Structure 1
Amino acid sequence: MKITDVLIGAAVGFAAGYAVKEACAQKDVSPEKALKQVKSNVQHRIPVNGSWIHMNPEHYEKNHVDYDVYRGGISSNEDGQTKQMDFVVDAKTGTILELDKQ
């Protein structure tokens, strides 16, 4: 067995291990994707006219469970009036944790 074969094998093994680690690492959902998911989840119930989201995740605790979340809001027209709704969405999964009318 040549030393070059060992070095090539080690390099390939290292590269494969790094690729698997990166693929398995759970990454945050982007704020844009989280906002898009919220809008698509509520669109069938209320028509969304406007929306916003904080770009930086923040710490949030609900039912003694810690989350990193994005906060945002959506607006809609109901009965000729603009209604505002605030939401809290999990930054890891994009799951809506809270959706409150104002």
Structure 2
Amino acid sequence: MTWKTFIAGALAGAVSGYLLNEAVKKNTSLSSETVLANVKKAFKEEGPIDGSWIQMTKEDFAKYAIKTKVYRGGITTSQNGERKQYEFIADAFTGSVLDVYPIS
């Protein structure tokens, strides 16, 4: 085996490994606990959190041309001595909050 063959094989293996890693990361969703922790962190900037919940299963979500899997959850906060409740929808792959709305 010559050095050229060895280097070409090692380079091909490294490139294949990198591409496989990127493909796996692209199709992997975040855990519901991670998504909830991110949402709670954002809400904590506005005030204390009294409670929170999240569904453990992903559900299909479609709005216009956007189709993805989402987690649904809720947050209870105290603002000016008053308890407020919100529900949220977060993308299961990126953790981005797609919608937040208050519950009356």
TM-score range, shorter-chain basis?
0.7 to 0.9
Secondary structure in 1 matching 2:53: strand
Per the alignment, residue 92 of structure 2 pairs with: 91
Per the alignment, residue 29 of structure 1 pairs with: 30
More off after superposition, 20-29 vs 70-79: 20-29
Per the alignment, residue 45 of structure 1 pairs with: 46
Per the alignment, residue 67 of structure 2 pairs with: 66
Structure-2-length-normalised TM-score: 0.74
Q: How does 1:3-22 map to 2 (within 5 A)?
A: 17=16, 20-22=19-21
TM-align CA RMSD: 2.6
Structure-1-length-normalised TM-score: 0.75
Secondary structure in 2 matching 1:49: strand
Query: Structure 2 unaligned runs (5+)?
Result: 2-8
Q: Following TM superposition, by how much is the alpha carbon of 1:20 offset from its aligned partner in structure 2, in angstroms?
A: 4.4
Tell whether 2:98 aligns with 1:101.
no
Q: Percent identity?
A: 32
Q: Following TM superposition, by how much is the alpha carbon of 1:19 offset from its aligned partner in structure 2, in angstroms?
A: 6.6
User: d(CA) in 2 for partners of 1:49 and 1:63?
Assistant: 34
Query: Structure 1 unaligned runs (5+)?
Result: 3-9
- How many residues were matched structurally? 99
